[in-house]
Amino acid sequence: MRVRAGFLVITVLFLSGCAFGDRVATLKYPPAADKGGANAAVKGKQAPMAAKAARQSVVVGRFTDSRANKKVIGFVQNGYGMKTADVKTETDVSEWVRKAIAHELRRRGYAVTLADTATPGTRALFVTGNVEKALTKAYFKYDAE
């Protein structure tokens, strides 16, 4: 009986152990899995807009990160939906967002530059912002906002 109970405890710990322990995610944009996927469909829909956009210059400025813990971008959950660990990153989230926005604007035909400020007297649009939330939930796969 003790052997059976011990085996049960070890089995439960072994099977649930994958939900414990922090994960480290490297943020990249565009995602490697997105080649020819959803972005290909968006690209086709945006084609008429691209000619008009090519005449417009956009300066993408720095983004700030107002999140309390800038290293944590989410959590790992177990089979019961309970948080068991953190998902962390060494990537600067605000810079990742900045480069993602610049990438998407370029794909749509805008002339994009990265700069801290807009040059006075130019007709370029200036885009900047604030990261208030970065969230990923990890179980067997990652869901993110």
**pTM given for the model:** 0.70
Residues 22-40 have a mean pLDDT of: 71
21-30, 33-42, 76-85, 110-119 — which is least confidently predicted? 33-42
pLDDT at position 44 is 46
More confident residue, 25 or 106: 106
SS3 sequence of the chain: CHHHHHHHHHHHHHHHHHHCCCEECCCCCCCHHHCCCHHHHHHHHHHHHHHHHCCCEEEEEEEEECCCCCCEEEEEECCCCCEEEEEECCCCHHHHHHHHHHHHHHHCCCEEEECCCCCCCCCCEEEEEEECCCCEEECCCEEEC
More confident residue, 38 or 53: 53
